[in-house]
Structure 1
Amino acid sequence: MSDALQLILEDTDGTQLETSCTRFAVVWQGKEVWIQQAGNGQLLIGVDVEEGDTEYANLLLRPLATNLVSLQLEMEPADVEGDDDHVHGPDCDHDH
């Protein structure tokens, strides 16, 4: 299985452009929402956190219908003083 994602980009007039990449981002509400293949047939979706951010984003996925979902971006205040209760793990995206 290839790590490349096959993309179809469509303009407002319906013109389509096909391309491929290993990951891509959509700038949504001022944040980069990155999408990439997980290697096991799943997609990874994440929001980059910049140094000095006072908020971090939560992605909420809700079913709408049989073949539709809603993806919502919610901003939550970040604890800029540090979170003593945070347990570092392989998925926390912190440099250890």
Structure 2
Amino acid sequence: MSDAPLQLILEDTDGTQLETTCTRFAVMWQGREVWIQQVGNGQLMIGVDVDENDTEYANLLLRPLATNLVSLQLEMEPADLEGDDEHVHGPDCNHDH
């Protein structure tokens, strides 16, 4: 992960812009925190915060729209409360092992 701050430009509905920096930021979207942070090599990581008691998983779908546009869609999928026998625990699964 890179320690270089992200440069943000926030714009109000009247067009007023505010410039700031941060290491990561979140957008509240459909009742979920969608976090964005820089991970190095010019890449951004986007993730959705989940709680232990959540009954749904959040899936982010990215689709190209045009040369310089993409669509990001948040879809909720029921969580398997019985346990997922197909899940393989690894360093990136965010589960306590």
Short-chain TM bin: over 0.9
* Structure 1 residue 84, shift from structure 2 partner: 1.8
Mark the runs of 5 or more structure 1 residues left unpaired by the alignment: none
For residue 30 of structure 2, what is the aligned residue in structure 1?
29
Amino acid of the structure 1 residue aligned with 2:29: W
Amino acid of the structure 2 residue aligned with 1:10: E
2:40 is the alignment partner of 1:39: yes
For residue 84 of structure 2, what is the aligned residue in structure 1?
83
For residue 4 of structure 1, what is the aligned residue in structure 2?
5
Q: Does the CA contact (< 8 Å) of 2:3 and 2:23 recur in 1? A: no
Q: Give the Cα separation in 2 of the matches to 1:64 and 1:84.
A: 36
For residue 56 of structure 1, what is the aligned residue in structure 2?
57
* Structure 1 residue 3, shift from structure 2 partner: 2.1
Q: Does the CA contact (< 8 Å) of 2:27 and 2:34 recur in 1? A: yes
Name the count of aligned residue pairs: 96
What's the TM-score once normalised by structure 1's chain length?
0.95
